[in-house]
């Protein structure tokens, strides 16, 4: 009944908006707890649209576990409530989510169901470049160690469609209080490393490593794409490369343990 009334209101309000010169009545306050109950996904989206229109003239407060109630057309005031298990007894943490700074294009690209699921209901997110990583990584992780089950560990995987988008996706998920890690192709070391959202320490090490690569190539007289096996081994054993690997491994261990305050890589 409530659903039908709201839909009727939304349809009528859309029709008469802009045509009425009457003084607006005092706005209502609508409190709605878990409106998605007993509704299939399409009906949830319809109800969300009705609430969005109702909220243009009234105040609406909704508590929900459905990602259908978050869209790029309505990114007003959203607060994620998460459980803090580090205290005894556990407490709640509120993460106000403000995405008003995002361009409309970015909102439509990032605010979609799979990303909403990860942002609202996961403790950690692994950013990958494409579909193959998204499909293979969870399977490989379980094959290496049964405890590395992404679903059991509350780890989500998000596709960013290229390393150029990694920094903005990292910022998007971090606004939800989610710990973020990045898995990128090896070519990111040589090109586009600055777009990964890496820390200043990692950027300095990457610049030092690329300087060593340039010096080694200049000394050998080889072209940039003609690095020999011996040169590759020397680069592998270079202190800068070892430091990068050590930092990456440390971050991976902290990420697996759920430590959101570890180093940023």
Half-sphere exposure of 119 (CA within 13 A, CB side): 28
Query: How high is the pLDDT of residue 22?
Result: 60
Q: Is residue 142 part of a domain?
A: no
Q: Is residue 224 part of a domain?
A: yes
Asked if residue 38 lies in contact with residue 66, where contact means CB atoms within 8 angstroms, the answer is no
Q: Is residue 16 part of a domain?
A: no
The answer for residues whose C-beta is within 8 angstroms of residue 149's C-beta and 6 or more apart is: 138, 141, 142
Tens of pLDDT, residue by residue, the chain (265 residues) = 666 777 776 777 666 655 555 656 778 888 888 888 888 888 888 888 888 888 888 888 888 888 888 777 665 678 888 888 888 888 988 888 877 777 777 777 788 878 888 888 888 999 998 888 888 999 998 899 888 889 888 899 999 888 888 888 888 898 888 889 888 887 788 777 877 877 788 888 888 888 888 787 777 665 555 556 666 666 667 776 777 777 777 777 777 776 644 444 4
Q: Is residue 171 part of a domain?
A: no
Helices (H), 36-88: 41-54
Domain that holds residue 226: 198-256
Q: Is residue 262 part of a domain?
A: no
Q: Is residue 221 part of a domain?
A: yes
Q: Is residue 46 part of a domain?
A: no
pTM for this model (two decimals): 0.66
Other residues' Cβ atoms within 10 Å of the Cβ of residue 96: 9
Q: What is the three-class DSSP state of 149?
A: coil
Report CA dihedral (121, 36, 171, 174) to the nearest 10 degrees: -30
Number of domains in the chain: 1
Q: For residue 93, what are the β-bridge partners?
A: 82
């Amino acid at each position: 009944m409530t659903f039908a009334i709201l839909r009727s209101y939304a349809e009528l309000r859309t029709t008469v908006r802009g045509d009425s010169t009457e003084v607006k009545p005092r706005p209502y306050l609508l409190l709605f707890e878990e409106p998605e109950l007993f509704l299939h996904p399409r009906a949830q989206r319809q109800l969300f649209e009705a609430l969005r229109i109702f909220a243009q003239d009234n105040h609406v407060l909704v508590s929900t576990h459905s990602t259908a109630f978050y869209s790029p057309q309505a990114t007003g005031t959203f607060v994620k409530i998460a459980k803090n298990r580090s205290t005894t007894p556990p407490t709640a943490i509120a993460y106000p989510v403000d995405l008003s700074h995002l361009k409309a294009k970015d909102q439509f690209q990032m605010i979609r169901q799979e990303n909403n699921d990860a942002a609202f209901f996961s403790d950690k997110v692994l950013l990958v470049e494409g579909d193959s990583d998204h499909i293979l990584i969870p399977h490989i992780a379980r094959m290496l160690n049964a405890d590395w089950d992404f679903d059991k560990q509350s780890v989500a995987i998000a596709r960013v469609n290229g390393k150029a988008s990694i920094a903005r996706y990292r910022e998007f998920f971090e606004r939800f209080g989610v710990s973020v890690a990045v898995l990128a192709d090896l070519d990111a070391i040589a090109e586009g490393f600055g777009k990964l959202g890496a820390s200043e320490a990692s950027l300095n090490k990457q610049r030092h490593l690329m300087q060593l690569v340039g010096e080694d190539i200049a000394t050998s007289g080889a072209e940039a794409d003609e690095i020999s096996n011996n040169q590759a081994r020397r680069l592998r054993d270079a202190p800068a490369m070892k430091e990068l690997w050590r930092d990456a491994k440390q971050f991976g261990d902290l990420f697996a343990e759920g430590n959101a305050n570890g180093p940023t890589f």
